[in-house]
Amino acid sequence: MRKTKQEEHLLLLFVKSSNNMKQGLYANINAKKARIKAGSGEKMNKVGSKKAPTAKDFRESAKTAKKK
């Protein structure tokens, strides 16, 4: 079965996110969305839940983000 470009991209994101290097907040979120789209059965955390990133986490992440 031939994979579409979108499926190949999702697989690439999944492989990149599974290496041992520490990933940033946005990389983790995008990797989880890719896994969900690929059919992992996971769900995104609700805003305000214990495991969901807080507003402070996003502010801290923005400080270390690469400028385009």
User: How many Å is the maximal CA-CA distance in the chain?
Assistant: 44
Would the pLDDT of 8 be above 90? Answer: no
What does residue 52 show for φ and ψ, rounded to 5 degrees? -75, 145
- Tens of pLDDT, residue by residue over 12-65, are 666 665 555 677 888 889 989 999 988 889 999 999 999 999 999 999 888 877
Q: Is 39 left (phi over 0), alpha (psi -120 to 50) or beta?
A: left
pLDDT at site 7? 72
Which of the two residues, 6 and 38, has the higher pLDDT score? Answer: 38
